[in-house]
Amino acid sequence: MTKSRKVKKNSKALVFIFFITGFFGGYLSTNLFFLLGQEDITHIYIIYSSEKASWMTQAYTDFMEEWEKDHPDEKIMIHIHPYGSADSIISILNGEIFPTIWSPASSIWMPYLNTKWKDYTGSETEIVDIDEAVKIIYSPVVIATWEEFNKTNDIKGFNNVFDLIADLDVEFKMAHTDPRLSNSGFMTVIMAISAATGKSSEDITMEDLKDDYIQKWLTVFESTAVMYGKSTGFLSKYMQSQGPDDLNLAFLYENLIVDISSESTEGKIIAIYPEEGTLYSDHPFCILNADWISPKQERIAGKFLKFLNERETVKSALEYGFRPIDSSIPLDKDIFNYKKNGITYNLNVTELSVPKDEDALLRIPDMWLLCKNREL
């Protein structure tokens, strides 16, 4: 790490503290300004993907209560903030944020950050120890649509969506997040290319990305997109609030369907599990190997991750529609319930993998940008 980056650290970290304070409101604000005057406070900064915000907020609260009870003489302050997975990488590289714990939506971002970190800093040391990442929960990418809309159109997967888009007699509006900034958008485009090629996503190559037919297919696929954003959580709330007239379909995480399915006044939103298969978001938690993290911060961060991985904490994540990595933890049939929440109990869908061709994987956002701006 360069000296200039280190010098920027303290001022930027302070700005980041105030930003987080504003986000979480009165309780944290009151405590933060009280704690800033005490030198023995250890601060832990956690950057995580936005779709697990509800669970992270609950886990943070529970951990702090337990910590204050068990460690009355060791004061800590934990700052948690949601970020788009790719967006967080950009901010880390630019020296805008200095997380102790980084939790993107998917493991695919760990080697990506390592590659970019080495390129950006010239360091041979990887900032993420992939083997040490803690994986606790996962959620598949699904096609979210309105139950009434699907009764008419019987969507089963990406190829059905493409056919609807190509049908000039059907007024169709869809959305996904920006694959340059958000994991769900990145995964959606990978799955779309997989459907276009007719091959497994792990076998996508640079030749596929250059293929004129595949590019035209993706251009058609993107032609009815009404918005792109950097937050999957925001997109789900937009769909819920705006109704089927503004958005017929969106590519979201399964757990977000639980949040919006039964709360919309415009009808029921359901999850469709693509018949071609889907990618899973496995939400790794990584204590970064960075010079802004002290041994004490690393120790406390490790205790926080151990707390997250405790059985009761994992079970609390299920309430928000996440599935446990630990298969011995049973699902709640009242939550994983199609009639009530629009999602299935038994996940009978093929799990896809990201392209083995690293060059192709890294260039997919560029291909998407090219195709979405092309004329039909």
Contact 249, 145 (CB under 8 A): yes
Residue 263's pLDDT band, with cuts at 50, 70 and 90, is: low
Residue 79 CB coordination number (10 Å)? 22
Question: For residue 38, what pLDDT is reported?
Answer: 52
Rounded CA separation 311/300 (Å) = 19
Least confident of 41-45, 51-55, 201-205: 51-55
Mean of the per-residue pLDDT values for the chain? 89
- Hey, what domains does the chain have and what are their CATH numbers? 3-132+284-321 (3.40.190.10), 138-281+333-372 (3.40.190.10)
What's the whole-model pTM score? 0.84
Give pLDDT tens digits for 128-149.
Answer: 999 999 999 999 999 999 999 9
Question: For residue 374, what pLDDT is reported?
Answer: 83
Q: From the DSSP assignment, how many helices (H) and strands (E) are in the chain? A: 16, 12
Give pLDDT tens digits for 84-120.
Answer: 898 999 999 999 999 999 999 999 999 999 999 999 9
Residue 299 CB coordination number (10 Å)? 11
Q: Above 80 in pLDDT, residue 336?
A: yes
Question: Which of 334, 347, 355, 181 lies closest to 254, judged by CA?
Answer: 347
